Every structure is written in C-alpha cells, then in structure tokens.
Structure 1
Amino acid sequence: MNREADPVTFAAMTNIDRRQLLKGTAAVAMTAAITTGAFTTPAYAAGHRPGDLGQAQPLDGRPFPAYDYTRANKLPREMTGYWTKSFDVAGTTRTAKVYIAAETPIRSYYTVIAVPDGADTAEFLQTSGWRDVADQRDEGLFVLEPGLDGWGDAVAEGAYVQAALTFFQSNNYFSIFGEHYLVGYGGGGPAVEAWAVANPLLVIAQAYVDSAGLSAAYLDTYASREFDGHTQYSPVTFPPDFRLIRYDEVVVPTWYIHPDATSAAASIAYWKHANDTLATGISEGFLGTGYHQRPGSDRWMTSHAGPISKVAVQTHPVNRRSSVVTRQIVEFLTAYTRYENFFAYSNSLYERADYKSLGIEVHTMQVAGFVREYLVYVPRSARRKAPVVFVWPGDSQTDKVFVDATQWWKLAEREGFILVVICEQYSRTSVVVSHHDSLVLFRQLRDTITAQYDVDPTRFYSTGHSAGSQVTQNLAIAFPEYFAAVATTSFPVAPNPAGTISIDSVAYPASGQKIPNYMIYGYGDIQQFVGTLWDDTQNATDGWAQYHLGVDGLALSDVDTAAGLRSGFHDRFQTWTWYDPGSHVPIFKVTKNAYRSHNTTCEEPPLLWDFLKHYSWEVAPNGTVTRYYSPSAFSRPGDRRRF
C-alpha cells in the first residue's frame, strides 16, 4: 500500500478535528455560504411574510421550470421556496417537503431530514433553524415526513423512503450534488439510517437525534454484502485473490445524539466498524465522545485523504428545536464531502472546502451574451507570479461540484498555484449544465485572470474531466500556444479525417504543433476509451495517441516500458511515458486507473499536477512557440531547458 506521509493528508485530519473541537456549544460558527456577497431571501408562497415558510406549494403535476438565463449556475428562480411532493406507497399517500434557498446553485448540497413524530414540518424547519441554515449556506433541504400514524419501524418505512429519495436523486425540478447529508430525529432516525446502511456510497455524513437505532438482524442483512466490478459503463475485472469491499467497510462519519442506550448499541457498533475506529474514544465538547478512525486504516474511501472519519456519541438529551443543536449538527456534517456515487473503488471521503476561510472567490461575467460563473482560489502559499491551472469540469459538474469532487483546492494550497474553475451553461434541462462557448469563454477568462491577479503568464495549464477533458484536448490540438502543458482525465480527442476538430460546433484545423500532454482514464471507463494502446481494438484513445505521438516525432514503440509503471493505492495506476527525442523531456504520458469507472477521483489531480508543473512556454509576436522544461518545477533558478 503505497501511502506516503503527505502533508495535505494530515492537514485535512487536523482541520476537521480543530473545526469540531474548538467550537463552543453556545456559539458554533457557520461554514461559509457557497457564494460571496450578501445573503438574499428566498421566494415564498404568495401572502406570507419572508420569515414564514407558509403553505408548501405542490410539485405534483407542476410543469418543469423554464430556463433562467439571468442567473449563472443557479436553479431557476421560480423553483426557490417551499414545496411538497406526494408518493403512492402501497395505496397510501405519503408526502415529502423540499426547501430551496433563493440562491441555491445547480447541483447544490442537500441535507435529507427525517422530522420527528408529531412535528409540523414548516414549524420544525423554522424553529430548529434548518431553514436559516439553508438560506445562509445557499443549499437545499429534502424532508421526509411520518405517515398519519407516525413513523413505523425501519423495514416498514423502507418503501416510502426509497420512493421519496428516488425522486430526490433524479428529477427535473432541481438537481443535487449527488451525495447527501442525512439527519434523523426520533422515530425518523431508524428509517433514514436503514437507507444509509443499504446505500452507504451516497451518504457523506449522518447524524441521529433520540434514535432507537437499527436491530443487529437488519444490519447483518447488509454488512457482508460486497461491491463487485459492475459500473455504469464498462465492467472492471479484478486481479486474482482480490478482496472485495464489504458494505460494512464503507466509511461514513456518524454522530449519535442521545441514542437509546440499549437498542442503538448495534448501530453504533456497526458504524464504528465501518469507520475503522479506535476502541477508545476521547471527549470532544458538544460531540460527546469521539471515536476516531485509526491511524494506518486501510479503508478504500480514505486511502488518499487519510484517517479523517469518526463516530461520535453524545449521551445527554438535547432540544430538537434548538438552533444551536442544529448548527452543531451542520458543523459536524459539513466538515466532510465525498464523491463517486456508484463505484465503490473510487468513492472517496474528503474534507469539504470552506470558501470563507480559504478565500475562494465566486465571480460572474458576460460570455457571448450569457452570464457565466467561475471560481478563483489564490492560496496563501501562492508566491508572486504564480502559475495558473484552468479546470474544466465534466458534463453536469459545476465549478462548485468540481472544487470538492476533485480536491484541486488542496493541491493549490500545497503547491502554491492559482486555481481557476470554470462553470458551464444550462444544457439539457434548466437544472443541468454543460460546456458552451468554450473558446470565447477561455479567451475572455484568460485576459481577466492575467489583468487581475499576479500570475506567471508563461505557466498557464489546462485540465478537465470527461466533457471538460474534451474541451482541453481540443484546445491542445487547435491552439497549443494557449498553454504550457495540458493534463486531463477520461476523454481523448483526435482530428477527424479532414484534419479538424470541433469546438462549439465550429471546425478548427489541427495545428500539428507539440504540446506536453497527459491523460488518465479508468479500467471501467466509457466503452470507447477502455483497453490499452497495445490491444487490437482501435478507439478514441488510440486516435488521440497517434496524433500526438506523430506530432512529437515518436512511435508507440518509443515508450519507456510497454508493461507500464505501477503506483498508487493497491498499485491502481499503470503509467506509460514517452520522451522528446532531442531533449529526453517527458512529452506524452498515459495512465490507466485499474480501480475506477468514468467518474473523477481525487487521487488523480496530484498526478496531473506532477506532470504539468515542469513546463513553461513563451509565444513570440510572430506566433512562434518556445517550450521549456524544469526538473525542479522552477524551484531552482536556471534549471529550465528548452526542448
């Protein structure tokens, strides 16, 4: 297990612990709102004052919202406010509520809340402070409600919870991050926890107040189930004697507040095992006793971030309607994020970016007549004339999704470069985005970043995933003079038979010019990209490699080793490198991730940066491009060499 003592790993663990240990119960600071500027008040049902949620408006039969091009990366304004959705569960009508803050972005984080028996949902959200939390954080709430006779047992409630969360996870009224925070009160706790046990890859973190927990018998029905190599795209074949991940080995940070001392014991033990915690806990203020993931834990989900998870147990009763308690729950949950909601072997738990403390800036600008959003992070570690990494998210992955899903912000913090993450534009529906006007956007954004920040104009790099990789790779072919180097994941591009590529449906000729290029893809990636460059199947990866190797004056046989060099957790990375013939500078590189589907994983950006950081370039007034390579990544003056 090749896990080194990475300073980012231990920083993540320390920051999370500090965030939870140093907050007092009387004054728990809220994590920053996702956007900068003043908070705004969401839309409400007509006739109600801003402080009153009022009557929830029905989603049943409501037309899907129209596109709202006046808002950059925001859900349509008409969808903000308080909604109700009904479900037929075995002939019985059950309901769930949705609250969407006024400035909630596309694919925002949501907290799924199971309200206690006897509570009026609107009143509970108001008095407990959950509505205020959503407004201040520009996030959403999805609220599960008991039936007429109250909450049933966890098994009996399974059909309702499944129906409600199936709608929640995929609908055209609003869109979600893809992973969820769970909170259950009283009898609603076991109902939502049972779903978490059955769907642990979808749960970022969870908290249960006054819960009876789940029975050992129910937990045992899931504990030993295993995640196989099935993906949404191409299946992953594991090596002989490979040990599959069990459901009870999925790390999910968990907080039990005043649990039933007897009946919740099995649940607490289950989550301690899942999080691979130490047997002995430590006192952690309002959290009660914290059981930390043990140092050296070999859980897949924290193989890169390190042992950052925990299970906390607070035995004292609390006021469920206390806004202080609500904010403590939020503080615990939102210390974490995770990504990859389908394939267990690239699902990862990480520290969530706190925009306010980090200083991440959210900006908008007009691009081709449309308002567009982008993020800029200038870490404190950035020196004068800092390099810049432009990041293009994948299809439907907004800038805010990609900051957490890739952890590029942590890499920028460690390495001292400026991070610029591009947001897309509305596409298939009014609650989904994809790339549009990419060439106009980049030229305008490049000039803006150059004018407003202290950057090194000879060290601009581009990266992206999937559709974002497509944008970067197209630019590398048609406009290689834009970047010192590119490095992307999971979408190769090659010129068509006419020798052109397409950007925003416009054909541009391939330049035929060199540019250092690196791509990583997954064993279980989209079908047209899988395999290797040495198999008999010709696909997009082969065409991409043939173009760049040809431009570089290289052949497939010029690789450093046909077997590929192995690295990473469980030797998951198999890497091939080609070197510039005249200078022996690495100029073309490919890595296959043996344990990944198509979705991005946070273990890959460090590999991309380790390639990018060695290159710079200069463009003469006549358009001539001169490229340089620095073995020290420009940390030692005078070691760059031309190639």
Structure 2
Amino acid sequence: MNWRKPLTLALAAAMTASLTLPALAADTPWYADAQAYVTENGLMTSTGNGFDPDATVTRATVFQTLYNAEGKPAVETPSTFTDVSGKWYADAAAWAQANGIASGTGTNTFNGDQVVTRGEIATILARYAEYKNLDTSGNGTSITGMADYSSVPSWAVDGMSLCFSNGVLSGKPGNLLAASDTATRAELATMLMNFSQLKEAKKYNFDPEHPYDGVMTGLFNNITITAGDETGTATYYLPEGMQPWTPAVIILTPNNTTAAEFAESETGLAWRAVADANKIGLAFLEPADGKTWNLTLSEDGRNDADILNQLYTTMRSKALTNVAPFSMDKSHTTLVGYGEGGAAALLFGGRYATDFSGICAVDATEVSAEALETVGDQLVYPFPGDSTMGVEEMHIQAKTVDTPVWFVNSADNNQAALDYYITANDATKGAANDYAETTYQAADSDARIWVSAKEQTPETIYNAFLGTTKRFMAMQEGGRVSFANDFTTSQWTIHEEEVNGELRRWMTYVPSSYTGDEDVPLVLVMHGYTASMYAIAEESRWYDVAEENGFIVVFAQALVRENEVNGNIPATTWVAGSFGQMFPDLDQDVDVNFINTVLDKTEAEYKIDTSRVYATGHSNGSMMTWTMGVNSTDRFAAIAPVGYMTAPSEEFSSDSLLPTWAIVGEFDSAANSEMVDGNTNVTTLEAWNEHNGVDENTLTESTQYDGKWETMTFTNDEDVPLVRFTTVLGTPHVYLQEESQTIWDEFFSKYSRGEDGTLYYEGKAVTADTYVSSDDWYTAATAE
C-alpha cells in the first residue's frame, strides 16, 4: 500500500523561517528529539529566546504549525473569523477553518492569543488526523485507566483518547492526563513528532469476518475520467455487500444534467435501489461539463466515445490510486442512457460494443445515420475488457459486433439506429413478449433487440434485460454473448464455511445423470486473480462438459486477501507461484491445504472415482494448478493450467507421472508462446518433461480448429502424450469453453491413476522413461 508521507522533510522548503539548534547540554533534555524534528521540518520557529521549551502555547501557534506542515497552501477563501485580519496567523486560521480543523471560540472569533491546554491540542490534532485521513485505530490502550480520567472535560475525551491510544500524547507523572494543564512548546513539539508517525488510513474498509464483501461502498461524486487531453465527470454508487467480480451498469445522463444531479433524481435513486437489491456497481456519466453530448461527432466537441471507454477501463482497475476501486465483472458491464444520454448510449456504446453485454436507450433522441456509419466503420477491441492487443490484426469493425439492445420509447425516431443493430446482430424478427412489442433475435448468439413504447422502470430494465446476458471473450470475433447461468438450480451446491480457520467458498455441479450408485470422475477448476468461482464457471462452461460426460466439477474460490505489494484493493488471490510473494507472512501452503480439504470433503460426500481426479485453472488459478501438481502430485491423473506458466520452485511431492497440458492465447496479456532458452515457457516445460521422463527429441507439432490451435506434444517411448503446450491464435488472456471441451475429450478422459500411483493412459499402464534433453525445440537466448 502507498502510504501518504506525514509531515515530510520536503515541507521545510516552503518555510520562510528557520531556527539554528542551540548546543545541547551534557544532560540531553527529554524534548531534544522533538526539538530537532520540528526545527528541521520548519514547523516551529524561534521565540527570540531560542527554542524556549517551557513557554506556553497559544491557539495561533498550534494552527500555524499545522499550516506549516501542509506547506502553507494558498488560501482561496478568507476566514470569517472576526479577529484575525492582519494577524501573522490569518492564513493559518483561514486554512484551518476551511478544512474543518478550527471551529472558533465564542461568537465567530478565533482567539489566536489564547493559551491552550493539553486537552485542546489533543482535540485539534484529532481533527487534523481526520482531515489527513490517518489511521487512528490505536494500540488498544484506553485513557479510562488514568488517575484523572474522570476530570477530563467531556469535549476533550475523544481527542485525548485518540492521541493517548496512538502514542501522540503520554501521561504525566502520577499517571495523569492533565487535560486542563496549559501546554508548553516542548510538549507541543513532542506531540507533533509523535503525530508524524501516524500512517495514512486505508482507503477501504476490509472486514476479515466478511472477507468477500466489497471494501468500498457509498456515493462518490466528481470522479474525473481522463482520456488523452479530454476529461469527463462521473459519479459512482457502490452498495454494501458487493461481492468479488460484481456486475456494473453505466448510466448516461440527459443533456444539461450532471452525474451528481442524476444520481439524486427519482430515476437515479431507483437505479441505486436496483444496485442495492442486486449488489451491482453503478457509474453515472455526464456530457462534457454537464452540458451536451457530442452526437454529431464534431471535431470541436469532446470525444465522448473515448471518455466512455476510459470510464469502463477505469472501473475495471482495482488500483488504490483510483477514487473508488472495486472488483468489476468485465463480462457483465452494461450501458443505459436517458434522453440525449440514450442517444449517446446507442452511438458511443456501438463504438465500443465489445465493452458491453447490453445497451438500453430510454426516451432517446435521434442518432443520425451518418454518425452511426462513422463509428460502425471503426475497429473495436477484439477482446472484451482485455487490452488493445490484436486490434489491427483482428480488424473487427464495430458494426459487426452482436449486442443486446432495448429501445424503450426510442425507436420511432431512431430507425437508423434500429437498422444498425439489426444488421450488427444479423437478427431476424421474433415474437412479442411481456416487455417488448417487437423483438429481433441474433443469428449466432443470445443477443436480441427489444422495441417497446411503454415506460420501463430501472428494476425491469435490469432484471428483464441488462442483467440477463454476459459477453465473454471467445474464439469468435467480438466475444460471445450468452445468457447468464442460474446457480440456484438443484444441480448446484454453494458452500461457504470455515476451512482451516478461514471463511472459504466453493461450489459443486452434479450432472443430472448422477445417481450415487457408481463412482464418477471429478474436475477441479480455479479462477484467476480478482475473479470468482461464478466467473470461471460461466467463462469456461465446465458444467456443460460435466453434464454431457457425467462427472462432477468443483469450482473453488480464492479468499479475498489484503496485501501491501501490488497497490490494489483486497482481492481474491490464490497464494501460489509469484503471487505468493505478495503475502510473505502467510503460510505458502494455505491454499494447497484448502484445495485438499475441499477435495476430501467432495470425495466424502459423493461417489468419486479417486483414480480420475483432474485440476485446471486460469491465470492466478493456473499458478494454483501448477502448485497443486507439484505439492499433491499423486492426487491427480492430469492437470491443465491455462493462461500462465510457472516452473516448479520446490521438489515434487511424488515421483508419479503427471500429464500436463498448458494453453495460452496468441494475444495473452499474462503469457506468450515464445520458446526462448531460459524463458518461463522453456523452464516450465523442461521441468515437467524431466519429471515425466520424456524424450524431448520426440516433440511433435499439430494443429486443431482449422489451424487456430498450435500444439507442441512431448511423449514417452510408448508415444504417450505427457506434456503439451498449445497456443490458441486470435485469443487473449482467457479460458475458452472450447478449451474445456477439448481438454476433457483429448486429455483428461484418457488418464487415470492406480492406488499405487501408477498412471494409466487409455487403460494401459504408463512406465517412467529416462528424461532426454534437447535444445532443438527452442531458440537460443539473445545476448544483450
């Protein structure tokens, strides 16, 4: 975590006065360090009598030292205090009043020359700590045990308690707080030095008792969105109880309506109620300066499409440098607009169609055919929410991307927009339903177009339309639009229980063919960093493969954990591979133990063929898959890590053979397909080739899916494929449903393991051969 530096040395440069330290006596005074601190940092100046440690302190002195600590910022609004004009501390008084640190005394007076007590300084510092957003959780020490606690003025209790428990203020001889004693300059200097040790409070609220709940909640106004040289303004609403990988809705306001205003309107409050009910994030985006949307695409106007896309990108980020970061489901982010904002949703949502899993225009004004043609010819990001990679190579025009769209009282004057989306979806007319008088269905996806004239509430818009579809990255261009899965059916069991002292989650899918009479295989699936068990289930569709082939699948979820390394909010993270370094004080086997416990529980509850247990995962879940393969080698008959390569960092737990199939995308943002001596791909494959005893000279190369899959296969002497590596062309950092199907059909289903650890391939025992190394399958490293 990036902590704000308290009262830094850099502030001294802003000071106009300085003090040369007097020579210290042989018996160094108790306040010597504090004197040095405030002097070197330019917080306190000479009184004419040197440091003058025993002199009393006035209100003016206290506030001036804090103003000095802030670097004497410019004061835009003069103080309303009636007794500070022309005084040396006037700017400090105005600054303190503007920031809620000074409230004045009496009738709107500052009383700068009034001597202050220890209790008053503690109260002022408590307000300053709140202004600085400092962590004042304290060490648990209470002032109630002090001898004179009962005599502390009621108004000073909170400030004294805060300063005492945080080590800013210490007691006097006799176990006294001495709240009403006048403070000396030495005492003030000491309190300032101690105060400087306070750290910036976390921007978020993480509750270990409820680790999966969102750590940022509430209404956040005036969030600046920057795209190039242009800016936009948004308001976020993040309800309590949001979960990892939560859906989000972006709402475009009508002309002449700011995001903050719309968030407080009747419609905005209705959307906030939807967010509360569904635990989703909201972002309200206003036109340039809260005025008008650039629907004509004028070069003199703002590039509203880029601002919208940047908002989506910012919402995806978990960085603490953002105003309100949260864990957003990039596959389930939708767009709705009202009035001119509805027209903007149709136009600019179409420009960046792969960002959104659905669009709704309410009372939209007209979008011109010319503007639609302009945005339709532009290239979109080919991979929803991933990166700019592959834009030129894939060359996907916006007008070819299938997108669910609902025209709510928006079609009569928008025939051009309706025609545009009918063409983009390759849609044909369908039957009316309870919400739309006219519907169209896309030819090759679950995208559809609804047209209705009657008013629709935000609740209906979300529950009946926007909340029902997702856009996943896939082998087809522009992603795959599919209906969201229902995890409440009887075939799903959701687990949340304490495992090894932590509140953990996983879910189990049981195929309809399961009777409990016969043992069935088990596949373990693990999601990537910040994602969830629901996300990997829908993205990979392993439950469809399980239903078709009669095995049980477990989707495990990583725990939301805090770390101070990567600068993100707490997020779901598997402690595995390089990610383990983010948690140096944590048992590095914590998730290995969790997964083994989950497998034990599953095998105890269901009839599992323990000779046919398999593991796979994506990204950070791929790291976890590699880790399980090394730490629990005998437990699995095969593993398939997707999207990340991790060479073993410790000895295998067993000499048993364990087939592996690693898969990455051509445009993978976390991996690559390059085979260069010493890179992660080569070191990982070499380690597993050695463990599985293959002859690297037996390498064969093959293609699948019309050449889109390029596979390297290493075999043993009996031609059993024990190590595979596949590059999927035209795909990014993703776990494809095609990968799930192929991994099962061509890999997992062929392997089993005997009770003695023997590996079987298609029912035949596989013997360990001698590893034969070769350097013919990779490129020599380039000297720098």
Give the TM-score of the pair, scaled to structure 2. 0.61
After TM superposition, list the pairs within 5 Å mapping 1:82-93 onto structure 2: 82-87=219-224
After TM superposition, list the pairs within 5 Å mapping 1:210-249 onto structure 2: 210-226=363-379, 244-249=395-400
Cα distance change on mapping 1:360 and 1:207 into 2, 3 Å? farther
Alignment partner, residue 332 of structure 1? 465
- Whole-angstrom distance in 1 between the partners of 2:387 and 2:549: 34
Q: Does 1:430 align with 2:575?
A: no
Alignment partner, residue 554 of structure 1? 694
Partner SS for 1:574: strand
- Whole-angstrom distance in 2 between the partners of 1:430 and 1:97: 19
- Whole-angstrom distance in 2 between the partners of 1:89 and 1:448: 49
Decide whether the 8 Å contact of 1:524 with 1:530 is kept in 2: no
Alignment partner, residue 34 of structure 1? none
Q: Which of 343, 347, 351 matches 2:479?
A: 347
- Whole-angstrom distance in 2 between the partners of 1:327 and 1:274: 25
Partner SS for 1:456: strand
Q: Which of 623, 645, 663 matches 1:470?
A: 623
Alignment partner, residue 450 of structure 2? 312
Decide whether the 8 Å contact of 1:72 with 1:373 is kept in 2: no
Partner SS for 1:603: helix
Decide whether the 8 Å contact of 2:657 with 2:759 is kept in 1: no
Aligned-residue RMSD, C-alpha = 3.7
Partner SS for 1:445: helix
Q: Which of 54, 68, 87 matches 2:207?
A: 68
- Whole-angstrom distance in 2 between the partners of 1:232 and 1:202: 9
Q: Does 1:139 align with 2:286?
A: no
User: Aligned letter for 1:445?
Assistant: V
Alpha-carbon shift at residue 464 of structure 1 (Å) = 0.7
Alignment partner, residue 121 of structure 1? 263
Q: Does 1:457 align with 2:592?
A: no
After TM superposition, list the pairs within 5 Å mapping 1:486-497 onto structure 2: 486-495=639-648
Of 536-545 and 160-169, the range deviating more from structure 2: 160-169
- Whole-angstrom distance in 1 between the partners of 2:329 and 2:212: 13
Q: Does 1:275 align with 2:425?
A: yes
- Whole-angstrom distance in 2 between the partners of 1:358 and 1:205: 28
Q: Does 1:168 align with 2:280?
A: no
Cα distance change on mapping 1:236 and 1:317 into 2, 3 Å? closer
Alignment partner, residue 28 of structure 1? none
Q: Which of 743, 747, 752 matches 1:608?
A: 743
Alignment partner, residue 723 of structure 2? 588
- Whole-angstrom distance in 1 between the partners of 2:387 and 2:533: 24
- Whole-angstrom distance in 2 between the partners of 1:92 and 1:201: 22
Q: Which of 330, 333, 337 matches 1:178?
A: 330
Partner SS for 2:207: coil
Decide whether the 8 Å contact of 2:365 with 2:410 is kept in 1: yes
- Whole-angstrom distance in 2 between the partners of 1:544 and 1:86: 44
Alignment partner, residue 416 of structure 2? 266
Q: Does 1:255 align with 2:255?
A: no
Alignment partner, residue 682 of structure 2? 542
Deviation per residue, 1:14-65 (Å, 9 max, x gap):
xxxxxxxxxxxxxxxxxxxxxxxxxxxxxxxxxxxxxxxxxxxxxx999620
- Whole-angstrom distance in 1 between the partners of 2:387 and 2:292: 38
Alpha-carbon shift at residue 512 of structure 1 (Å) = 3.9
Cα distance change on mapping 1:169 and 1:625 into 2, 3 Å? closer
Cα distance change on mapping 1:223 and 1:115 into 2, 3 Å? closer
- Whole-angstrom distance in 2 between the partners of 1:212 and 1:399: 41
Decide whether the 8 Å contact of 2:232 with 2:285 is kept in 1: no
Decide whether the 8 Å contact of 1:403 with 1:409 is kept in 2: yes
Alignment partner, residue 390 of structure 1? 524
Which has the larger Rg?
Answer: 2
Decide whether the 8 Å contact of 1:86 with 1:93 is kept in 2: no
Cα distance change on mapping 1:93 and 1:520 into 2, 3 Å? closer
Alignment partner, residue 642 of structure 1? 765
Decide whether the 8 Å contact of 1:73 with 1:372 is kept in 2: no
Alignment partner, residue 625 of structure 1? 757
Q: Which of 246, 249, 257 matches 1:108?
A: 246
Alignment partner, residue 191 of structure 2? none
Alpha-carbon shift at residue 431 of structure 1 (Å) = 4.0
Decide whether the 8 Å contact of 1:346 with 1:597 is kept in 2: no
Decide whether the 8 Å contact of 1:520 with 1:590 is kept in 2: yes
Decide whether the 8 Å contact of 1:469 with 1:488 is kept in 2: yes
Alpha-carbon shift at residue 604 of structure 1 (Å) = 1.6
Structure 1 unmatched ranges of 5 or more? 1-59, 295-305, 496-500, 502-506, 631-639
Alpha-carbon shift at residue 338 of structure 1 (Å) = 1.6
User: Aligned letter for 1:276?
Assistant: D
Q: Does 1:374 align with 2:374?
A: no
User: Aligned letter for 2:616?
Assistant: T
Alpha-carbon shift at residue 448 of structure 1 (Å) = 1.9
- Whole-angstrom distance in 2 between the partners of 1:603 and 1:366: 34
Partner SS for 1:218: helix
- Whole-angstrom distance in 1 between the partners of 2:546 and 2:244: 24
User: Which has the larger strand fraction?
Assistant: 1
- Whole-angstrom distance in 1 between the partners of 2:492 and 2:286: 36
Q: Does 1:197 align with 2:350?
A: yes
Deviation per residue, 1:147-205 (Å, 9 max, x gap):
89765453557556466545433354322112411122222212233331232221011
Decide whether the 8 Å contact of 1:153 with 1:190 is kept in 2: no
User: Aligned letter for 2:438?
Assistant: T
- Whole-angstrom distance in 2 between the partners of 1:229 and 1:144: 24
Cα distance change on mapping 1:271 and 1:537 into 2, 3 Å? farther
- Whole-angstrom distance in 2 between the partners of 1:525 and 1:96: 31
Decide whether the 8 Å contact of 1:254 with 1:311 is kept in 2: yes
Alpha-carbon shift at residue 467 of structure 1 (Å) = 2.0
After TM superposition, list the pairs within 5 Å mapping 1:433-448 onto structure 2: 433-436=572-575, 437-448=590-601
Alignment partner, residue 525 of structure 1? 668
- Whole-angstrom distance in 1 between the partners of 2:685 and 2:625: 15
Alpha-carbon shift at residue 402 of structure 1 (Å) = 1.8
Cα distance change on mapping 1:571 and 1:283 into 2, 3 Å? farther
Cα distance change on mapping 1:509 and 1:233 into 2, 3 Å? farther
Partner SS for 2:738: coil
Counting aligned pairs with the same residue, the percent is: 22
Cα distance change on mapping 1:592 and 1:152 into 2, 3 Å? closer
Deviation per residue, 1:207-259 (Å, 9 max, x gap):
11221242222222222223589997996699xxx873212112211111221
Cα distance change on mapping 1:201 and 1:369 into 2, 3 Å? same
User: Aligned letter for 2:416?
Assistant: A
User: Aligned letter for 2:316?
Assistant: Q
Cα distance change on mapping 1:222 and 1:152 into 2, 3 Å? closer
Q: Does 1:362 align with 2:498?
A: no
Alpha-carbon shift at residue 447 of structure 1 (Å) = 1.7
Answer 1 or 2: higher relative contact order, Cα 8 Å, separation at least 6.
Answer: 1
Partner SS for 2:334: strand
Alpha-carbon shift at residue 125 of structure 1 (Å) = 4.8
User: Aligned letter for 1:169?
Assistant: R
- Whole-angstrom distance in 2 between the partners of 1:493 and 1:89: 36
Partner SS for 2:464: helix
Alignment partner, residue 40 of structure 1? none
Q: Does 1:403 align with 2:537?
A: yes
Cα distance change on mapping 1:352 and 1:439 into 2, 3 Å? same
Count of aligned pairs: 529
- Whole-angstrom distance in 2 between the partners of 1:579 and 1:483: 19
Structure 2 unmatched ranges of 5 or more? 1-131, 134-200, 576-589, 767-784
Decide whether the 8 Å contact of 2:382 with 2:478 is kept in 1: no
